[in-house]
Structure formats: C-alpha cells, structure tokens
Amino acid sequence: MRLQAVLGAIGRQVLELLAVLGRFVLFATDTVSHMVRPPFFFREFGVALFQIGWLSLPVVGLTAIFTGGVLALQIYAGGARLNAEAVVPQIVAIGIVRELGPVFVGLMIAARVTSSIAAELATMKVTEQIDALTTLSTHPIKYLTVPRVAAGLITVPILVGVGDVIGILGGYLVSTQTLGFSQIGYLNNTYDFLELRDVLSSLVKGCAFGGIATLIGCYFGQNSGRGAQGVGRATKGAVAAAAVLILAINFALTSIFFAL
C-alpha cells in the first residue's frame, strides 16, 4: 500500500507537469498567431521596449564587465600553471561571446523582467483588470502578451551584443592594466580568434532567451491564483521556470551550433 501511495503521488505530479506544459504550449501558440494578426498596440510595444531594453542596460553592463574581468584573472591564474598565460584574450573572447554573455544576460532578464511581468500581470488579474479587457472586446494576449514578447525578441539580442562587448572590455582592462598584456596585441588576438559563427550563436541565443523569458512571465502572470499569495507564487514560479529553461535552451543551442 505504501508503494502504491508513492507511485500514485509521483504519477499525479507527472500528470500535473504535463498539463502545465500543454497549457504553456497552447499559450505560446496563441501568442505567435496573434503576433501576425492586427490590431497591433504600438504604444504598449514601445513601453515594453523601454522597460525591457533600456532599463535593463545598467545591470547587464555591470554584470558583463565584472564577468569579463574575473574571467581574465581566472584564466591567467590557471594558464600560469601550464605556462599558457598568452591564451587569456582568446579564451575570454570565446567564453564571453559563446556562453557567459548570453547566459548571464538571459538570467538577468529572467530575474528583472520575467519577475516584473509576472507580478504586474498577476496583479492585474487579481484586481480584475484582465477581465475588464475581455469585457471591452480586447484580447488579453493581444494587448498584454504580444507587445512584451515582441520587445523581448528584439531587445535581448541587442543587450547580449552589448554585454559581449562590455565583457570583452572588462577582460581587456584587467589584462592590460593588471596582467601586463599589450593593448594592441590583446585586441588583435581577440579579433583574430572570434568567428562569425560565435557572434551569430550569441545573438540567436539572446533572441531565444528574450522570447522565453517574456513569454513565461506573461503565462504565469495571466494564470496566477487569486490574492497576494497568488501573485507571489506566480512571480516565484516564473523566475524559476525561466532560469531553468534558459539554461536548457542554452545547452540545446550550443549543441546545435558547435556539435562536432
């Protein structure tokens, strides 16, 4: 009987997870279909561009520059054991552009944007503002989700590109000012080592992370429970789901771009 109870509990959790995944897929499909059909709410789109893109730039810049600096220090310390200190520019560049830049920006967006969207939309649901939109014949996905997802798809790749440049700059500053690297030599090694595939993979990851972060925030916000606890659970669940999916998608995209 105890074994049956355990298996039953596991089965219920699996079924609940599959139900959530199914609802999310339907929500994502509905969002994509509304993105290509009028009407378009350009004012909401502009507000989302500002909030997701411009207001995220300071935290992205600070994260990237310190990441690049720390990466340069760690690579230099590790390379010194093998007399390979000269590889610092190359590894900083490829580490930032291929992996650390997109992933850190994606996680910062999940922490800042996904939580904000989920909390905002969950509060709108609790206060019945979403029901009011439906009463006014305005589709909630068209008005609330599509502008935010479209803004995420556009702005996050730009943030990733900016983060890559700032991260490489952080490694450059530490290497040239602290570790004794030549300024011209460092820049030449960075430029010669990076390939177009590295940059494209970084931007594609940024687009995927931006879409998933905003989509999850909208989904959890519009499907939150009632009351203050519902808002809190929606926000917490959105951030956790976005972070896990960003890491999983990063692994999948890295396998696609750099499979041997």
Q: What is the pLDDT of residues 173-218, one digit of tens each?
A: 998 988 888 889 888 888 888 888 899 999 999 999 999 999 999 9
State the pLDDT at residue 1.
Answer: 64
Considering the domain boundaries, does residue 30 fall inside one?
no
Considering the domain boundaries, does residue 27 fall inside one?
no
Considering the domain boundaries, does residue 92 fall inside one?
yes
State the pLDDT at residue 203.
Answer: 94
- Residue 189 tokens read as 């090694």
State the pLDDT at residue 260.
Answer: 54
Q: What is the CA radius of gyration of the chain?
A: 22
State the pLDDT at residue 21.
Answer: 84
How far apart are the C-alpha atoms of 197 and 255, rounded to whole Å? 13
Q: What is the pTM of this model?
A: 0.90
Cβ neighbours around 98 below 10 Å, total = 23
Q: What's the domain count of the chain? A: 1
Full residue range of the structural domain in which residue 174 is found: 38-259
Considering the domain boundaries, does residue 71 fall inside one?
yes
Beta carbons of 221 and 118 less than 8 angstroms apart:
yes
Q: Residues 112, 204, 66, 166: is their CA dihedral positive or negative?
A: negative
pLDDT below 70 — which residues of the chain? 1, 260
State the pLDDT at residue 34.
Answer: 86
Residues sharing a CB contact under 8 Å with residue 32, sequence separation 6 or more, in sequence order = none
Considering the domain boundaries, does residue 12 fall inside one?
no
- Residue 48 tokens read as 């989302």
Considering the domain boundaries, does residue 24 fall inside one?
no
Considering the domain boundaries, does residue 22 fall inside one?
no
Considering the domain boundaries, does residue 138 fall inside one?
yes
How far apart are the C-alpha atoms of 105 and 159, rounded to whole Å? 7
